[in-house]
Structure 1
């Protein structure tokens, strides 16, 4: 295994190394800005749990009127609560969108990333199982809030932070989702150029322009049309990507050498912890801020255990298998592992026969487009939850415009900007972990369904601004930043400031590369929330529920 920072070159030769957890510094000095983008790329392909018919409701902003019913139409649902009469499906159906969301040939690259921490195959496999299943279990818990309240994740978060107090996490969530949809559009555009260059068809400006037009057209169209159209697109992407990924695996089986895999030496506790944090942030923790967006169509009577179980199983099954094969592939050749770390698309393409390169670029680009489409949908909902009074499809169009402009800038103007941008998004990832801890604790403390009408009323039981929750996220974030190191951008050198005062060896010590700050932020939010929230939640739950389950009416938000 190579130990140089070449694992994460961020230039046009190796443009695929992105997503927020991956910028956390690795034990050998490299920074894996590659991985979490790949997790995002794998998400979001499957059929919905029910339909997106609009309730007979007083719509919140972004839900101006009822949808037209089945067929190809623009979804008019926004951040309103779905009426009980329009909720349908069972928890079992959650398996399909979550499974399809995580089936992609790019998931194989995680084998190289995890082994790059300097751990053995057995340690890496254990880290993968615990990290993938454990992090998606958090998504399963948050998905329960969706079936309880039938509103988007960042609206349900108002129960913990207050109606206007939730603007802070909503803003962070919007920045992250619109940022990562831009990153994935960039990667899809450059993926086409990379494979076309390998085929000898060129890979210059003209190819990139055409690729950008196709990618942006699919992503923006899906985001504007909304949930039903997105899920139909994702169903097609799921089948195509799944079949072509199986084809890839069959074609590269002869690159696996068991003796080389078994000979990989074990690593220290710090390296194992670092790999675990990396996997958790690359998979489930990168998805928690939108986890309830897909369970909100389930009936209120749906089993909470079923929602958790099927969400976790569906989302974990494919990544576990892909990681296993990726570990075998990367562990068989140090040279191949190094190449995958630097440029997953190029490295994986190089071990394929030429005749399979076109199917390969199709599977790679579709995976990236699938992730970006879901990001644009969730980023639009996050934008509406900030209080912007426009229809949902207009919010998606705004986000799509930002995505296109960002892609043009990075691909055609300033390619080296990507590392700086990645560092910014990584820095925002720590407060999302803190937010996740607060919301999970708040959800665990509640025994009754949400009073969904009052999620839009700052004079209601959830209040206007819950300063204790906001302060907790701020404190947990500061602690988290103090315990991570980030080499994606020089302006982030201030991070890791608590490593030396706490006796963890400073920024050059072994614990610096474990990136404990992510876990600390998550646990601080979760463990401290009951100290501030128990009494207020009990007071809220003695009040009668102010929702009409027949209409799911939601007044205009303040």
Structure 2
């Protein structure tokens, strides 16, 4: 065996009969060579299906919320969305090299035990995303049923919450192969109905109103860019390698990045662009999106198309949530929880169901708190992504897969350079972002503590609610800074460590 060849270990309990089992038995164990049958183009389907939801149009209202014009918002979408998924594609390369989930691969950068720190953040982020998507599906169901006269009250919401949670959990419990087949089918269904939606609503576009939207400053533009990158590719980056670990070992790295990027970004670019035209044409539509994005978008449709629109919207949201809960289960296992993968997915499903019910029935406003929650976790995740991307592009050889499970192996128990970089970058990053929903989520108002000392803004209180004067506080520079700073520090400070790791046969 040469130094360039990875040490292999069959997945525990794997045999020929495993291939035909309905439920995937692999957890965070090493995927055997006989199971690595996927091609780079296969990555298109899960990413496209998870991001073709009409909810992407709703992001237009959030982008306009930064005070930018249509043309500025369009530039933000055309740049931010593809770049964010390119970063996912780079991390997906590690899945091919290492045959294990993303958070296990991250042990090479943080240490076998040190990885638990970003692992916990990743698990919370995944739980938050999948719950958010489930909530969107329930609210969309209530709105559509109410317009149809069927009733969108408590009973409808309860049934919808249970049904949506059941669909998500069942698919995630069945595992990788079922999800890949499901996503390839959903891609065509959701794509077709989304095109129909655009054809039926194009008459609502008022080009004069869209052009009349005033331009924003550089700070507002950066704020919108950060939000788009966080809401799309960076929101998925902590699970990117989970879907590439079944790739052939000789698959092209460039092809993996390409198909990951195309699958993730093609639909959102089109949807956000169309959403910018709709939201810019109708202020009432833009305002309604803040509380119920998909339900509000349905209000401009003719009655006859509401049912297929509703089915497609729910399936698209479920598709995204399935990716999230499958990976959050793997992350839970990577933290040292010794249970079967299906059980981990089921646990996360229970949490998702409880979270969905609480928000739908008891929370008056959840989009604001959710985005605040997303930004708080987005800073350390951006730092983690910078560290792991630098680690991936520096390595020249495949991972020692067995060492990823051994604290005394070449990756050791803790990598204090990476852990220190994550902590410092996060502290700096939190100091350069603000809670943009201070009234709805006052628990996050502690951020932004570096802005005033650096002369980038002034904290004030308006009607008892925290507010900020100045342009730069809204740019959320801390997210991009955490990403870039962590990448540069890791590229320089850990190069020697990586070389030594790869020299150990």
TM-score (norm 2): 0.92
Q: Does 1:291 align with 2:240?
A: yes
Residue 398 to residue 346, structure 1, CA distance change in 2 (3 Å): closer
Match of 1:373 among 289, 311, 322: 322
Between 87-96 and 322-331, the greater mean CA deviation after superposition = 87-96
Secondary structure of residue in 2 paired with 1:485: coil
C-alpha displacement of 1:58:
5.0
Question: Paired residue for 1:252?
Answer: 201
Give runs of ≥4 in structure 1 deviating > 6 Å. Answer: none
Pairing of 1:38-437 with structure 2 (within 5 A) = 57=9, 59=11, 64-66=13-15, 68-71=17-20, 73-415=22-364, 420=369, 423-437=372-386
**CA deviation map 1:456-505 (0-9, x unaligned):** 11111111111111111011111111111112411211111110111112
C-alpha displacement of 1:422:
5.5
Between 493-502 and 409-418, the greater mean CA deviation after superposition = 409-418
1:72 and 1:453 mapped to 2: Cα distance? 26
1:328 and 1:394 mapped to 2: Cα distance? 44
1:156 and 1:126 mapped to 2: Cα distance? 34
Q: Does 1:490 align with 2:451?
A: no
Match of 1:539 among 494, 500, 505: 500
Residue 362 to residue 381, structure 1, CA distance change in 2 (3 Å): same
C-alpha displacement of 1:164:
0.6
C-alpha displacement of 1:67:
7.4
C-alpha displacement of 1:408:
2.7
Question: Paired residue for 1:441?
Answer: 390
2:53 and 2:350 mapped to 1: Cα distance? 27
**CA deviation map 1:409-464 (0-9, x unaligned):** 33344555775565344312211111001101111111111111111111111111
RMSD over equivalenced CA pairs, Å: 2.0
Question: Paired residue for 1:459?
Answer: 408
Question: Paired residue for 1:15?
Answer: none
1:277 and 1:422 mapped to 2: Cα distance? 12
1:167 and 1:413 mapped to 2: Cα distance? 32
Match of 1:500 among 452, 461, 464: 452
Question: Paired residue for 1:28?
Answer: none
Question: Paired residue for 1:37?
Answer: none
Number of aligned residues: 487
Between 200-209 and 403-412, the greater mean CA deviation after superposition = 403-412
TM-score (norm 1): 0.83
Does structure 2 conserve the Cα–Cα contact (< 8 Å) formed by 1:67 and 1:76? no
Which blocks of at least 5 consecutive residues in structure 1 are unaligned? 1-55, 545-558
2:48 and 2:77 mapped to 1: Cα distance? 17
C-alpha displacement of 1:316:
1.4
Which blocks of at least 5 consecutive residues in structure 2 are unaligned? 1-7, 459-467
**CA deviation map 1:497-545 (0-9, x unaligned):** 110111112332210111111111111211111332111111111122x
Question: Paired residue for 2:463?
Answer: none
Question: Paired residue for 2:465?
Answer: none
Secondary structure of residue in 1 paired with 2:287: helix
Higher helix share: 2
C-alpha displacement of 1:95:
2.3
1:342 and 1:410 mapped to 2: Cα distance? 12
